A and B are shown apart, each in its own frame.
Chain A
Amino acid sequence: MIENKQELIKLGDDFLERLYAEPGGEYVRLCAQCGMCVASCPSASRVDYPPRKLISLLRAGRQLEVLTSNSMWLCLSCYLCSERCPRGVVFPALIHALQRLVNRYDLPTYRSTAPKMYQEFISIVENNGRNHELYLLLRYYFKTNPLGALKFMTVGLKMLLCGRLVLRPPKKIKGFEQLKLMLDRAKAMESGK
């Protein structure tokens, strides 16, 4: 994993304290390192660090490795680990807390294209009030892997023929301005933190 000095400085020595203060971050303290989460995780074989190890690395001060790993983006929020965790760790909530820190410190996310999908989703919703599946797919594939989209062409075509992909462009919901004002205000309040 990369060890970028500048980014480490950005995170600071008090990283763990700030993580604990973030809703969801408090779970790092609770973990007993039993590994039940790893046995339950559908992504365990594909992530750089499965849940138990991820928490262990955070405690050991190796946060940059964690924050730039693909583990940040492959939690599927299936909640099987949290269901079984004897200590009550809600791992998906911890992942959300970490994702917020990645965004706040503008850390690299090259290990997964999930953040790109998230960005496109958020942008469509912030501009219309609702998601638009076809636009999301087109924008995501265009930005990540335009040729890769060809592989899934038949799936898309079938969905289109079944009337389950909408061609008409996204339309702003009524009351969109209200939502926009709310989100702007929420952003302003968070940055004032």
Chain B
Amino acid sequence: MKQYSYFPGCCMEGSARPYDTSLQAVSKALDFELIELENWNCCGSTPFGSTTQLEFISMASRNLAIAETKGLELVTACSDCYLTLNQANAELEKYPDVKKKIGDILNSVGLKYNGTVKIKHLTQVLIKDVGLEQIKSRVVKPLEGLKIASYYGCQLVRPIAGFDDPEFPEFLDRLVSVLGGETTEFPLKARCCGGASMIYQPDLALDLIHKLLESASAGGAQLIVTPCPLCQTNLDGYQGFLNRKFKTNYNLPILYFTQLIGLAIGLSPKNLGMDQLVLSPKKLLNQYFAAGPQTVKGA
């Protein structure tokens, strides 16, 4: 069984609990092991970017130093943690004097980091390492007839280039197809949801998620799937608020991509944290919630 070090990130202990629940269930079912990095600390995230470069990189470096002793790839499912940890690696390489100073800082507490940790996002693990073919072979309840918009957010596809187009990525759409669902047109699929500005500039963030919901609906989507915990919280948690503010009536359940995989490979909604979504997908996915036959037709 392939093993990875797992960096949950702070939101997995709160707003993204159903994400954590579902990714744990899916990893077990698809035979890979996520070993939580012991005593991990916050990756630093955007706020620490405003402190000093050394503080910002110190946050990530402690995690990376601990991860290096394990000798495994470091996996996170949070787009922001993915970006921040990768950024620390990149800056350590770009600025040799910073690397030396961080080395001294780590050394002073008995840690050491050589810069060898490879950071992966969980989507890469599932789509590349496990592979779409393998996932396909495990599908027992295809998402037939379900129209699904794949929402990527920004920080997973930009700026760390790598596994797909930064503006019109397709890997999630391919996953949806493999799971038996119908992909929909969603031109804004890699546009920003506003992120944490929902707290300090809600008018801006609400406008952005309004555009996203408009675009996804116009494409005929019945639900949106995303690999980003912050995008999920904004779209799921604030959709009702947005409907009241803009006098709209969107009702698009927002699923974590691991929940979608879990449903299709026959895991129970309960084990996927489906009851922790603000907008319940129960009506749309009633066949999955009722114990029933192995093959199910979608809504």
Which residues of A line the B interface, CB within 8 A? 23, 42-43, 46, 73-74, 76-80, 82-83, 90, 96, 99-100, 102-103, 112-119, 121-122, 125, 129-134, 136-137, 140, 144, 152, 154-155, 158-159, 162-166, 173-176, 178-179, 181-183, 185-187, 189-190
Contact = CB atoms under 8 A, between A and B. Distances in A.
Interface string B192-206: 101111011111100
Contacts of B51: 100, 103, 122
A128 to B, nearest CB: 9
B249 interface: no
Contact of A118 (B50, B101, B240): B50
Nearest to B278: A158
Interface of B: 10-11, 13-18, 38-42, 45-56, 58-59, 61-62, 83, 91, 94-95, 98, 101, 104-106, 108-111, 154-155, 158-159, 166-167, 191-192, 194-197, 199-204, 208, 233, 237-238, 240-241, 275-278
Contact of B50 (A46, A96, A181, A183): A96
Contact of B192 (A76, A136, A137, A165): A76
With most chain A CB atoms within 10 A of its CB, the pick from B14, B16, B59 is B14
B218 to A, nearest CB: 19
Contacts of A112: 200-201
Contacts of B11: 131, 133
B113 to A, nearest CB: 11
A80 B58 contact: no
A137 B54 contact: no
B192 A42 contact: yes
Contacts of B192: 42, 76, 78, 80
A143 to B, nearest CB: 11
A136 B159 CA distance: 27
A171 to B, nearest CB: 10
B39 A164 contact: no
B17 A164 contact: yes
A132 B276 CA distance: 19
21 contacts: A42-B191, A74-B204, A77-B154, A77-B155, A78-B155, A78-B158, A96-B56, A100-B52, A115-B50, A118-B50, A129-B39, A131-B42, A144-B200, A155-B238, A164-B14, A165-B14, A173-B41, A178-B62, A186-B52, A186-B54, A190-B52
A83 B18 contact: no
B62 A187 contact: no
B279 to A, nearest CB: 9
B41 A130 contact: yes
Contact of A173 (B39, B155, B200): B39
| 6 smallest beta-carbon distances between A and B, as pairs | A78-B192, A99-B50, A79-B158, A186-B54, A78-B154, A118-B47
Contacts of A178: 62, 109-111
Given A116-B200, A154-B241, A182-B62, A23 B159 contact: no
B86 to A, nearest CB: 12
Contact of B159 (A79, A119, A152, A165): A79
